[in-house]
């Protein structure tokens, strides 16, 4: 079971970047997936998630309208399209698999597998 992010780099403010997360070793299409980021020296921040079939997506307010999460199950890949980038988007971006365990009628988050992270730096 493995997740490998790619696509990070240095971009100017206002620019765009597309992150990818390649999944292997499990049935990718059976899991919700999330992006989580961590600014240098700071804590973790959940960014977005997407349902198994891509029909449901959610975002943190600070990226709504600028970032788009998507997936291609045939390619076992998760993506994060980031537009109108700001300095405050500078962070390591992790993709994570959600086990989504269920107890009765309640589903929980449980990010059991993470990638190694990809660094995004927004600077002029």
CA atoms within 13 Å, Cβ hemisphere of 110: 9
Q: What are phi and psi of 75, to 5 degrees?
A: -110, 5
**Please, are residues 48 and 57 in contact by the beta-carbon 8 Å criterion?**
yes
Q: Name the residue nearer to other proteins (CB basis): 9 or 101.
A: 101
C-alpha span between 91 and 88 (Å, rounded): 8
Kindly provide the b/e burial profile for residues 107-120, where b requires at least 16 CB atoms within 10 angstroms of the residue's own CB: eeeebebebebbeb
Least distance to other proteins, CB of residue 101, Å: 6
Q: Name the residue nearer to other proteins (CB basis): 43 or 65.
A: 43
| Residues in touch with other proteins (CB under 8 A) | 34, 36, 43-46, 49, 58-61, 94, 99, 101, 103, 106, 108-112, 114-117
End-to-end CA distance of the chain: 37
Q: Name the residue nearer to other proteins (CB basis): 31 or 49.
A: 49
Least distance to other proteins, CB of residue 79, Å: 19
Q: Name the residue nearer to other proteins (CB basis): 6 or 12.
A: 6
Least distance to other proteins, CB of residue 115, Å: 7
Least distance to other proteins, CB of residue 74, Å: 26
């Amino acid at each position: 079971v493995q997740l490998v992010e790619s696509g990070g780099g240095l971009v100017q403010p206002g620019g765009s970047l597309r992150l990818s997360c390649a999944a292997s070793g499990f049935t990718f299409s059976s899991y919700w997936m999330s992006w989580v980021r961590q600014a240098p020296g700071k804590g973790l921040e959940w960014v977005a998630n997407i349902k198994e079939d891509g029909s449901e997506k959610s975002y943190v307010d600070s990226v709504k309208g600028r970032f788009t999460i998507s997936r291609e199950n045939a390619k076992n890949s998760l993506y994060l399209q980031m537009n109108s980038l700001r300095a405050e988007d500078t962070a390591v971006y992790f993709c994570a698999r959600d086990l989504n365990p269920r107890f009765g009628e309640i589903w929980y988050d449980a990010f059991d597998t993470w990638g190694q992270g990809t660094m995004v730096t927004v600077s002029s």
